[in-house]
Structure 1
Amino acid sequence: MSTVLVTGASRGIGAATARALSETHDLVLVGRDTDALHAVARDCRSARVVTADLTAAGTEPTAANTAGPADSDGAHGPALAAAGIERLDGLIHCAGVAELGRIADSGAGQWRRAYDINVVAVVELTRILLPALRAAEGHVVVVNSGAGYTAKPDWGSYAASKFALRAFTDVLRQEEPGLRVTSVHPGRVDTDMQRAIVAHEGRTYDPETFLAPGSVATAIRQALDATPDAHPTEIVLRPRPR
């Protein structure tokens, strides 16, 4: 049974992805909300929970930092999330953050948060896990965004981080030819983050107008299930008009 690590697994696309893969993969679920991670793990056949802040780069793991479905921890860092993994068939990056605001109103802190979570954490965890991914000729899947192609007013820091994330996947694909690297670009998805965005926009939230997290999870699963001769490099999803 192949092993897949999913970040941002406590909710939204990450949780939906974990559930979509639960019957066919051993999972490592990474996130910051221990209780929510365990709730997802209970829906999975085989899932190990790791509570970690992936923006805490450089933190070294300890024996108390990792946990099975019945235990939890309060640990930090990409090194923690990768602890004890010698072979990894799939690494799925679902964690992310979106803060809206016009450039004139967006301070350096907002831009740093966008890059720390959406880019640096992804790069660092991938870097640490490269030996395990190479051993399995594994697959890296990065959940990007439509904003990774098009920048719009109020979305400056988020779009810039997603453009950078797309550059990372393009480079990784060329530098690591033994791996498959897929960049997934969904449109708006019905998640807690989307609710906050719509509230910022001053609009009424209608989940029917957005993609379901499970729809993105299905696309991720299909990418992982691609035949060995196929390399799904980019997947673009948009909500169908209703």
Structure 2
Amino acid sequence: MTNSSNATAQASPDTEAPQRVAVVTGATGGMGREIIADLARDHHVYALGRSAADLPESPSITPVAIDLVAGLDEGMALPELDRVDVLVHAAARATKYSVEEATPENWRAHMDLNVHAPAEVTRALLPQLRKAEGTVVFINSGAGRHSYGDNVVYAATKHAFYALADGLRISEPGIRVSSVAPGPTDTPMLQGLQDYDPSQVIAPAEVARAIRTVVDAGPTTQLTELQVRPRIELNLRK
């Protein structure tokens, strides 16, 4: 299992078109794994995550062990790719803090992973995305449109994430940009924030299906924002 820094997209033996390439951050998370499994059906996926031992690997998945936050200062050790058809930003952190509780270190830690790192990964891969006229998917959250007294730091980063996505769309008209915002989803992140019944929240595979809808949109359109909500909102359940 290696950081495939010299890997390049290879042409499919059955067609003249090169194989489509996807890059997904947060590869070891609950959503990341499902997103990668779905995209690997017709892309070669570069799965980026910190823990090499936990990264998925298969003939259509190349694991890339990388610390995105460290890369902000040390340089992003990203794979050298000829093109990128899909870039999915799924890496994130969420710890509950109120304004009173949050320290500058808490703010920086969340902003670095949730906003600064995806901005830098996108910047580094812009030439490849432009070449492929690719799609960039930002995994946002319901917290990106609302704020919470006990979870203000995470909410603030997701508000900034919307601004990042919108700014990219405006400045790069040749690239499709989408914000996919799941509500409460059965992942380790949600487990760290609240108690819940898994049957009452979104299954990670459903988020992957939503991203597939974005990726497979026709060539004359882009799905700029997609909200993914549970069938019944948790606050409406009795």
**Counterpart position of 2:57:** 41
- What is the SS of the residue equivalent to 1:27? strand
For the pair 1:80 / 2:98, whether they are aligned, the reply is: no
Q: After TM superposition, where is structure 1 displaced by more than 2 Å over at least 4 residues in a row?
A: none
**Counterpart position of 1:20:** 38
Write the deviation string for residues 44-74 of structure 1: whole angstroms up to 9, x where unpaired. Answer: x4111110011121424xxxxxxxxxxxxxx
Q: Is the 8 A contact 2:186 2:201 kept in 1?
A: yes
Q: Return the letter of the residue paired with 1:24.
A: D
- What is the SS of the residue equivalent to 1:167? helix
Return the TM-score normalized by structure 1.
0.86
For the pair 1:205 / 2:196, whether they are aligned, the reply is: yes
**Counterpart position of 1:215:** 206
- CA displacement at 1:184 relative to structure 2: 0.7
- Which protein has the bigger helix share? 1
**Counterpart position of 1:112:** 108
- CA displacement at 1:86 relative to structure 2: 2.3
Could you tell me which of 65, 85, 96 is aligned with 1:51?
A: 65
- CA displacement at 1:233 relative to structure 2: 0.3
For the pair 1:171 / 2:167, whether they are aligned, the reply is: yes
**Counterpart position of 1:95:** 91
For the pair 1:143 / 2:139, whether they are aligned, the reply is: yes
Q: Is the 8 A contact 1:6 1:18 kept in 2?
A: yes
Distance 2:68 2:158 in 1: 17
Task: Give the number of equivalent residue pairs.
Answer: 214
- CA displacement at 1:110 relative to structure 2: 1.0
Q: Is the 8 A contact 1:11 1:36 kept in 2?
A: no
Q: Is the 8 A contact 2:98 2:153 kept in 1?
A: no
Structure 1: 5+ residue stretches without partners: 61-78, 199-203
Return the TM-score normalized by structure 2.
0.87
Q: Is the 8 A contact 2:111 2:157 kept in 1?
A: yes
- What is the SS of the residue equivalent to 2:192? helix
- CA displacement at 1:205 relative to structure 2: 3.1
Percent identity over the alignment is 41
- CA displacement at 1:41 relative to structure 2: 1.9
Write the deviation string for residues 127-164 of structure 1: whole angstroms up to 9, x where unpaired. Answer: 00001101111110010101111111111100110000
**Counterpart position of 1:66:** none
**Counterpart position of 1:6:** 24
Structure 2: 5+ residue stretches without partners: 1-18
